[in-house]
């Protein structure tokens, strides 16, 4: 058993010895992204296990260990980790937990402390918790986010965005069921067998698009539905009760903005802070360089997708920001900030009129920039069909799905009405 070591503040460290012996649990958020990131970390010499369980016991575990007034994503993440420790078949003395820590104004910055408190309450404070952050808040001898690993993970996120985008557009129409998911997994393998260098991205993204363009599809009548909201609830099957799968069963094509927009948003608001509030120039300059790099990569991705008319490319970040600027100041950064409003507007302007705004109940910032902006958006975009869905332990899945079904029925009525108007305008053949 690895010797337990602590820093000067009494925090349990993840040591180099633990790196060799321990399995690191990672909570699920974005299925395509996290699957690839798990494999990148394992390739770097860590022993990571992505937690994919979604059963109701996770919520109960979270309720027993996290105050029910705490953010629902925190309850789920902590519940999922504790459930894996207790029921996953692993030696609890040989596991570690990894969780992201943003350092921002959201309660997500405090998840790590709530997790450690829960471990202590369960008599498992011998389990180390690794903070995954880019701001130097916590360091561990056994986990180093060096340049090589950081660039590999950034590249993985970008490729995963592209795979998710193309997969969502093909999955509802594929001629051979399961072909799209099989190709996503094949590219997972291919990406790990080649260099994850940022310098190969343009060529690799072009190859990915060409491969997906070979998938045969059939014409099916589908309803376009966008998903926006708080970042965890928007993407996580555990957080949103498998929302994507539910919408596909209801005959929809799901449209979800990529993670890259959120990453650029994080860099962007550091630049805004530097300009408006006198934050350190060095931090602002680093954020400026990061933003330029990610926007450059996003443009490469858009150009690669645009080569194929059958695919709908992602939106340009600056276009989304410009749309949001008509409603909110760029200083709105808490939660998903102006980006949440911008994503709703971008979807509407790109032809995706039906939107599910998914958010945890009690997340005040996202209720303001999400649910709170819906009326203003509808006033200027009367064709918008938006439903706000709250997710928390007391919300029933059937109620959530019924509200979404009502939104879909309105969408189909509008589709039918539009089709009838088009038919009336068509000239009658003699």
pLDDT band at 181 (very low <50, low <70, confident <90, very high): very high
Q: Which CATH number fits domain 16-143: 1.10.3470, 3.30.70, 3.90.1570, 3.40.50?
A: 3.40.50
Tens of pLDDT, residues 5-57: 988 889 999 999 999 999 999 999 999 999 999 999 999 999 999 999 999 89
Going by C-alpha positions, the residue among 331, 394, 392, 406 that lies closest to residue 358 is 392
- The arithmetic mean of pLDDT across residues 344-360, rounded, is 96
- The arithmetic mean of pLDDT across residues 83-111, rounded, is 86
Strand-by-strand arrangement of the 252-255 sheet: 252-255, 223-229, 354-360, 385-391
> Has this prediction a pTM greater than 0.85?
yes
| CB contact at 8 A, 225 and 244 | no
pLDDT value, residue 307? 97
Phi-psi label, residue 136: left if phi above 0, alpha if psi -120 to 50, beta otherwise: left
Going by C-alpha positions, the residue among 337, 335, 340, 341 that lies closest to residue 377 is 341
Give dist(CA 228, CA 233) in Å, integer.
Answer: 9
pLDDT value, residue 418? 77
pLDDT band at 107 (very low <50, low <70, confident <90, very high): low
Which two three-digit tokens encode residue 156? 């993985």
Phi/psi of residue 126, each to 5°? -85, -5
| Number of CB atoms found within 10 A of residue 261's CB | 24
Q: Which residue has the tokens 């300059």?
A: 285
| Lowest pLDDT segment from 145-154, 225-234, 266-275 | 266-275
Q: Which CATH class is domain 221-257+328-424?
A: alpha beta
- CATH 3.40.50 segments of the chain: 16-143, 221-257+328-424
Which two three-digit tokens encode residue 404? 């979404």
| Lowest pLDDT segment from 106-120, 154-168, 259-273, 364-378 | 106-120
Per-residue CA distances from 27 to 65, 125, 135, 353, 392 (Å): 17, 19, 20, 32, 18
What's the angle, vertex CA 287, arms to CA 283 and CA 293, rounded to 5?
150
Strand-by-strand arrangement of the 95-100 sheet: 48-51, 23-27, 95-100, 129-132
- Dihedral of the alpha carbons of 53, 242, 366, 101, in degrees to the nearest 10: 20
Give dist(CA 248, CA 183) in Å, integer.
Answer: 19
- Residues in a beta bridge with 226: 255, 355
Phi/psi of residue 14, each to 5°? -95, 110
């Amino acid at each position: 058993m690895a010797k337990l070591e602590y820093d000067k503040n009494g925090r349990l460290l993840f040591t180099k010895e633990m790196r060799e012996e321990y399995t690191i649990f990672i909570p699920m958020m974005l299925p395509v992204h996290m699957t690839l990131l798990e494999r990148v970390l394992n390739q770097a010499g860590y022993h990571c296990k992505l937690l994919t369980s979604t059963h109701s016991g996770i919520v109960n575990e979270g309720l027993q260990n996290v105050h029910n007034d705490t953010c629902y994503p925190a309850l789920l993440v902590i519940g999922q980790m504790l459930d894996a420790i207790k029921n996953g078949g692993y030696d609890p003395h040989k596991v570690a937990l990894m969780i992201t820590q943003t350092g921002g104004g959201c309660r997500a910055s405090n998840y790590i402390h709530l997790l450690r408190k829960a471990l202590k309450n369960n008599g498992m404070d011998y389990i180390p918790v690794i903070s995954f952050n880019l701001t130097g808040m916590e360091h561990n001898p056994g986990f180093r986010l060096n340049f090589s690993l950081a660039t590999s993970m950034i590249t993985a996120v970008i490729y995963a965005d592209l795979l998710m985008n193309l997969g969502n557009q093909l999955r509802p129409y594929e001629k051979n069921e399961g072909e799209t998911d099989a190709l996503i997994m094949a590219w997972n393998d291919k990406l790990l067998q080649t260099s994850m260098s940022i310098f190969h991205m343009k060529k690799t993204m072009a190859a990915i698009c060409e491969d997906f363009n070979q998938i045969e599809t059939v014409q099916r009548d589908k309803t376009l539905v966008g998903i926006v909201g708080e970042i965890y609830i928007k993407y996580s099957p555990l957080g949103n009760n498998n929302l994507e799968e539910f919408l596909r069963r209801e005959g929809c094509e799901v449209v979800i903005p990529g993670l890259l927009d959120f990453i650029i948003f994080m860099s962007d608001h550091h630049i805004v802070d530097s300009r408006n509030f006198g934050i350190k120039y060095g931090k602002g300059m680093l954020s400026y360089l990061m933003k330029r790099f990610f926007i450059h990569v996003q443009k490469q991705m858009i150009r690669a997708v645009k080569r194929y008319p059958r695919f709908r490319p992602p939106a340009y970040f600056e276009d989304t920001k410009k749309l949001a600027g008509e409603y909110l100041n760029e200083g709105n950064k808490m939660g998903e900030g102006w980006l949440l409003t911008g994503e709703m507007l971008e979807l509407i302007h790109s032809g995706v009129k039906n939107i599910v705004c998914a958010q945890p109940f009690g997340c005040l910032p996202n209720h303001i920039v999400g649910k709170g902006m819906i009326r203003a958006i509808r006033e200027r975009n009367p064709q918008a069909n938006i439903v706000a869905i709250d997710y928390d332990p007391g919300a029933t899945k059937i109620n959530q799905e019924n509200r979404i079904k009502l939104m879909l029925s309105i969408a189909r009525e509008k589709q039918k009405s539009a089709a009838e108007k088009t038919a009336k305008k068509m000239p009658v053949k003699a």
